[in-house]
Amino acid sequence: MPLDASHPTLADGYVAPPLIRAYRGERPETTPVWFMRQAGRSLPEYRELRVGTDMLDACLTPELASEITLQPVRRHGVDAGIFFSDIVIPVKLAGVDVRIVAGRGPVLAEPVRTPADVAALPALDPTALDPVREAVRLTVAQLGATPLIGFAGAPYTLASYLVEGGPSKEQLKTRALMHSDPGTWSALLTWCADITGVFLEAQLEAGASAGQLFDSWAGSLSLADYTAHVAPHSSRALEPARALGVPLVHFGVGTGELLAAMHGVGVDVMGVDWRLPLDEASRRLGGTVPLQGNIDPALLAAPWPVLEAHVRGVLDRGRAAPAHVVNLGHGVPPDADPTVLTRIVEFVHAHG
């Protein structure tokens, strides 16, 4: 279905902002910039606001999620807000017992590893997403001309949390299930695709102007495994969003060898982590795909002349692509100095 007539991008007199133009493959006068994980732990105002509130509860309290989303836009002057949430929110809203453990991440009460476990996964009632829709509406009303990007986790990354029971660097149990029980694997990935697809769709319908699918753990996969066992499910997750006609971004960590296959699931823009230069990423994608990235987060702690030279290099290499949105090659570290992020935004806007 197309977007409702009340969507901000369909308002009379709407002019696409630089970020959306870049996502569409144009070169705006000023290079747009935003940061993954720009909302959250690196901001003192976030830490003050979150005192006494559980992470997932914060995500599902519309006024709180909206304020957290807006904080970095006000502070840094970035060209987009990224909806403050967590990739396991649709898992929680479906009724699965999951919580965020400080210093570790999402942890499940019971891992999902058998055919019976997968068969017992509950369906997600669309009305459970009402707090998400309300948070997006509140945020878009405050952002004005600055676009909001919707956020969702890719099926493989969701599945890895479910199978491992929490974060895992190598996803050994996940990849073992993929090969040892393809039927159960397909059922699990289908469930993950459907709930995360509805989650992203809800944000876009409520007013987000673009969407990004994060596959945080796809870098553990071979190209053959990704293509055969994961890509079809990522494509399924994006089907509702594609039907809305908004630009879509796909990002993974350590996925330089998967770029073309990840683009092939049906997105407009590819995010690139810090490991692969943007001109090489553009070459691997045939020189036709807008790119997002890819400042090394480690260099946020470097002296400014070192970081400035690095950002200049990112801008220069980004010119190999049809369009470029500056971002980090992963998320903002929790100990990052917010003033450095603001300085990067100012530099990119002046020199991009």
Show which residues are catalytic.
37, 41, 50, 86, 161
Beta carbons within 8 Å of 142's beta carbon, 6+ residues apart: 66, 70
Q: DSSP states of 296-347 as a string? A: -GGGGGS-HHHHHHHHHHHHHHHTTSS-EEB-BSSPPPTT--HHHHHHHHHH
Dihedral class, residue 144 (left if φ above 0, else alpha if ψ from -120 to 50, else beta): left
CA distance 65 to 59: 5
CA distance 294 to 331: 10
CA distance 81 to 145: 11
CB atoms within 10 A of CB 261: 18
The amino acid present at 145, given as its one-letter code, is: A
Element (H, E) at 269: strand 269-271
**Residue position matching structure tokens 């006494």:** 52
